[in-house]
Amino acid sequence: MSSIPYRIRRSNRARHARILVGGEGVEVVVPRRFPMREVAPFVEEKRSWIERTLRRMRESETELPPARLEEGGELPYLGERLALGVRVERGRRRSHVARRGSEVVVSVGGPGRAVLRDALERWYRRQARVEVKGRLDAAVAATGVRYESLQIRGQRTRWGSCSSSGAISFNWRLLLAPAEILDYVVEHEVAHLEVHDHSENFWSLLASRCPDWRDHERWLRRHGHALRL
């Protein structure tokens, strides 16, 4: 039986050992004082779940091809597939990204996947603020509620959040999903402006505004790991 490759991360906040399976592989998060000799048996205990999750991820990526970061590659953008053009301009200090119809052109100062990915992430973050704000403003106008602030973040596992004070945040990676998924997450967080927990009242309110919310939740669980550059 082959071993499962994984990395270990100690965390001061972790109270119990847990396993995260995502686009970057398998990560075992353990409390600061967790004995290292217990990590391998813990992973082996969870082997069937890990293998099942990895298999689902491979199937998911067949249905939702990831971005190809290279000249002539492709980028997902709210359900579209945009062509990617890369221009290497020696001496350029700051990368520049511009969308021209169905193509995104990136000008960078030198070759390298990391430089290209960083430039594109900054562009997606800027675009996310525009795409989210229009949807968010329309949603709160339709419901008569207010939010205090909007932030764009890059959390690994959270797509959005809403504090009790009305501060709302969204993950820029939602732009790698179809538009209806972003619409759903916006409605989800706007509903939290009225009901702050995930009680039955919350889900009833959300269903009145987004009848297909269960389908969108399933989509995120199935494909969320693939929303990355």
| pLDDT surpassing 70 at residue 190 | yes
How do strand 18-22 and strand 25-31 relate by DSSP bridges? antiparallel
Nearest CA to 27 out of 155, 156, 113 is that of: 156
Give residue 42's pLDDT band: very low, low, confident or very high (50, 70, 90): very high
pLDDT tens-digit profile of 90-143?
888 899 999 999 999 999 988 888 999 999 999 999 999 999 999 999 999 999
State pLDDT tens for residues 159-185: 999 999 999 999 999 999 999 999 999
Task: Provide the 8-state DSSP code for 51.
Answer: H
Contact, 66 vs 225, CB < 8 A?
Answer: no
Domain definitions of the chain by residue range? 7-63, 73-226
pLDDT at 226: 84
- For the record, the structure tokens of 85 come out as 């053009």
Distance CA 29, CA 11 (A): 7
- What fold is seen in the domain 73-226? Zincin-like (3.30.2010)
Per DSSP, the residues of 64-75 read SPPP--STTEEE
Q: What is the DSSP code (8-state) at residue 24?
A: T
pLDDT bin (cut points 50, 70, 90) of residue 11 is: very high
Indicate if the pLDDT at residue 1 is higher than 70. no
Q: What does the alpha-carbon distance between residue 29 and residue 21 come to, in Å, rounded to a whole number?
A: 11
Is residue 86 scored above 90 in pLDDT?
yes
Sequence-distant (6+) residues with CB within 8 A of 36 are: 8
Amino acid symbol at 71: E
What is the rounded distance in angstroms from the CA atom of residue 125 to the CA atom of residue 127?
5
Give the closest residue to 123 by CA, choosing from 176, 72, 70.
176
Residue 157 binned pLDDT confidence (cut-offs 50, 70, 90): confident
pTM of the model: 0.80
Residue 90: predicted pLDDT: 85
